Amino acid sequence: MVDRVFLITGASSGIGAATARAASREGYKLVLAARSEARLAGLAQELGPENVLAVGTDVTDMAAQQAMVEQALERFGRLDVVFANAGRGGSPGGFSGADHQAWRDMILTNIYAVGLTVQATLPALRKSHGHVLITGSAAGRATIPGSMYGATKWAVTGLGYNLREELRGSGIRVTLIEPGMVDTPFFDEPPEHALHDRDIAEAVLYAVGQPEHVDVNEILVRPRPPLDDD
């Protein structure tokens, strides 16, 4: 049997790390990419260094992404699943008063970097008839006053739809993962009535685990609304 290889960006914490743990339990070889090399090293040690390649990567840099893919192919010989998960939030203030530099960094990470991940990994995925998953958001399906973050996730939704059309007939599946509120390091204070990162990891593994003739286009996951007596 061929060892299947699962690449995750934004893998050092939150949804990315939870997905790495879930994929490891399913027997995948892992390529874990993030800026924080120290966190990646700790996660690789936890999951078994012989099965994990940890790559410190600036996802907004195409050369860094290409180097990530080259290292993955040199180590494992193939890519089967790519989870473009890296993302970041913005700053308060809405369109009237938010930090415009924070906007720039967020747009580059949430949109441009996703495109780079897709472009860098597609040659390998075409060979394996693999699977692309992209972290969108419930915010990409709703109107949120003053939210540039929400606007980036609308763009990610469009990216996922348009990528699927480009790859129609290629054998590559494309899935948008769209979480609602998730309790991750994304927030300074833990949100109430939120999902856990492992809930989203399970959604990712559900999509990946379907038979080849099944293409899960989108998974929108929201926390259950609180009960009256919660």
Neighbours of 178 (CB within 10 A): 24
Residues 6+ apart with CB under 8 A from 51: 24, 29, 30
**From 28, 149, 161, 206, the catalytic residue:** 149
Kindly report the backbone phi and psi dihedral angles of residue 2, in degrees, each rounded to the nearest multiple of 5, phi listed first: -85, 135
CB 156 within 8 A of CB 110: yes
The Cα–Cα gap between 12 and 99 comes to 26
Residues 6+ apart with CB under 8 A from 49: none
112 in catalytic set: no
DSSP string, 145-200: TT-HHHHHHHHHHHHHHHHHHHTTTTT-EEEEEEE-SEESTTSSSPPSS-EEHHHH
CB 186 within 8 A of CB 14: yes
Query: How is residue 168 written in tokens?
Result: 């129609």
Residues 6+ apart with CB under 8 A from 34: 9, 10, 11, 12, 13, 16, 40, 56, 57, 86
Q: Which residues have a catalytic role annotated?
A: 149
